[in-house]
Amino acid sequence: MRYLIRFLSQGAAGSVEHYDKIVDDPTITIGRATDQVLHLKDRRARLQHARIEPRNGDVHISTRAIAGVTVNGRSQRDAKLQHRDVIEVGSNVLTVIEAPSGFDFAMTFELRDDAASDELASQFDSLRLSRTLWSKRRLSWALISIVLVCALLVPAAGLLHPGAADVLRDVPLLPDDGLWLAGPIHNKHAQSSTQCQHCHTEVFSRVKDVACLECHEANRHVGSSSAAALVLGIERCASCHLEHNEPPGLIKRHQGLCADCHASLPADVGLEPATDFLEDHPAFKVSLLQPMTRDDKTLDWTTVRAVLADAGIEDRSNLNFNHQVHLDREGIITPDGRRVIECDECHLPEPGGARMAPITMDEHCSLCHTLTFDPDAPDRTVPHGDPEGVVQVLIEYYSARLLGGGEDSGGRRIRRPGQTLSRTDRDKVAAEAKTTAFKIAGDIFERTACATCHEITRGGESEELPWQVLPVRLTPEFFPKANFSHTDHDTEVSTCVGCHAAESSETTGDILIPNLERCRDCHGSGVARRNDAGQTLSTCIMCHGFHFAEKGSY
């Protein structure tokens, strides 16, 4: 059924105003309840007083009220409605009118002109404070007094008498200065949450930097001589590290904290603009250890900064290593047979995942790269990392063989059992042992062992040791100015070779660090709506800290 209900009301200057309500429902409910289609504001009507609904092709009004409804002056409990019928419920009058096109039934709804206001009022009188001893004014003053005493005067007693503050804090029912907290204390400051004076050194004054630096290291973001210090130097610690907030958070991670300044930095800072990792970030720079020779001809190391995307940069560690050979998917030949080597057999993160643990010869290389020197004594090896020790071990070994004693006796002997050698014979043994040792050492240093991985030079100042093994130092950290954790990147979709192109690297000088574009495959903007490809939200503070110890102290 489609009903039209036209509400009539008396307008200005005696005019009649109306507005229409259309109901698409089989039934129109009438009553004082607020869920009724026709809401009657007359206390003589029931909550659900009557219903108008179609029945056998006609429209009927029915009610369960004992008094019924008045239809054309007669009280009825069920009546068929026709054009011009008048229905009365208390002071409410409904008149059936001819239904316009598109409607099945239409009627008007209005109040009688003689409707009394008491008939439209609620049946019960409201309870007023004015009828009690507590008027609004008296109650307001009482509540104000309670607030002033409990939230101001009593807690303030602790400011005038420090001993009183401890008493108020220890007694649960007494109000203390904890009522003045604007919000919760972060758990990092939980131990001092009951000692406000630790941070608020002056009453009703904001926290000063000296109070923060009593516990925290005095590091700053820029050097005091930098032009940027003129801007950041006026910022308080509490400008960024806000306490008493909900939810608690001491560190601002919003992108604008960094981007507002790094969009345009002073010239002497030496940094390129950077406002967003996805849309505005300079190419990565890496720190590389490079060998250098000092004036006294000793080898030392220096750190250089290089743009990762530049051609020709290399890691000069004085080590010869071929990742492609070691990561051959068909495996490599070892003393125990052919096997496939995985990255994590050598490269393991330190606890915490920030750096990789050092690689050592004994732990990672000695299984395949043995330091044996005599097939007759496969268990004898020379020491690693000690060229003088290598020659000394060889001389002692071959001296013992020539003398024919000990577990290594064998081969040609100069001394027979029980024979005492003369000085000439002893010199002969020493000379021959040294000659043999140096011959074997030449093979070890230049062909079989050391030269496989190390840079070897010959013709040094020492006649006793003509070989020099250039020292090796691997770059421990390529991004010292950024925060990175291998543990966080150890996921099912992330593999070592997915970020590091080690399987195609043939020389140690290759920088196997992923570039900016590779990182952008997973890391997106610091603004969530810009990460259309579903990248991880990456703000500046995710990779970069703010306080640097090398920048000096306050």
pLDDT of residue 28: 94
In whole angstroms, give the CA distance from residue 382 to residue 380.
Answer: 7
Which residue do the tokens 């992923």 mark? 514
Spans of the chain below 50 pLDDT: 122-124, 406-411, 552-554
pLDDT of residue 78: 93
**The dihedral formed by the CA atoms of 27, 30, 33 and 36, expressed in degrees to the nearest 10:** 30
pLDDT of residue 418: 54
Question: What one-character DSSP code corresponds to residue 449?
Answer: S
Pull the structure tokens for residue 62.
Answer: 């029915």
DSSP-assigned states of every residue in 503-520:
GG--STT------HHHHT
Cβ neighbours of residue 483 closer than 8 Å, sequence gap 6 or more: 354, 542, 543, 544, 545
In whole angstroms, give the CA distance from residue 175 to residue 156.
Answer: 10
Burial annotation 146-176 (CB, 10 A radius, 16+ → b, else e): eeeeeeeebbeebeeeeebbeebbeeeeebb
Are 119 and 101 in contact by the 8 Å Cβ rule? The answer is no
Which among 256, 257, 276 is positioned nearest to 520, based on CA atoms? 276
Please tell me the pTM assigned to this model.
0.59
pLDDT of residue 95: 95
pLDDT of residue 344: 87
pLDDT of residue 349: 84
3-state secondary structure of 280: strand
Per-residue pLDDT reduced to its tens digit, 255-264:
888 888 888 8
Pull the structure tokens for residue 416.
Answer: 């027979």
Q: 361-367 contacts: CB < 8 A, separation 24 or more? A: 361/385, 365/453, 367/334, 367/335, 367/336
3-state secondary structure of 192: helix
DSSP-assigned states of every residue in 290-309:
EEEE-TTS-EEEEEEEEETT
- Helix or strand (DSSP H, E) at 267: none
pLDDT of residue 27: 94
Cβ neighbours of residue 155 closer than 8 Å, sequence gap 6 or more: 168, 175, 176, 177, 178, 179, 180
Which residue do the tokens 């240093």 mark? 445
Bridge-partner residues for 2, per DSSP?
A: 24
Which among 156, 159, 162, 194 is positioned nearest to 175, based on CA atoms? 156
Size (the chain), residues: 554
Cis bond before residue 247 (omega within 30° of 0): yes
In whole angstroms, give the CA distance from residue 1 to residue 304.
Answer: 86
Question: What one-character DSSP code corresponds to residue 142?
Answer: H
Pull the structure tokens for residue 120.
Answer: 């439209």
pLDDT of residue 194: 64
pLDDT of residue 408: 44
Are 49 and 31 in contact by the 8 Å Cβ rule? The answer is yes
Domains of the chain: 2-120 (2.60.200.20), 285-359+474-514 (no CATH), 365-469 (no CATH)
Pairing of strands 2-10, 74-76: unpaired
In whole angstroms, give the CA distance from residue 49 to residue 31.
Answer: 5
pLDDT of residue 104: 93
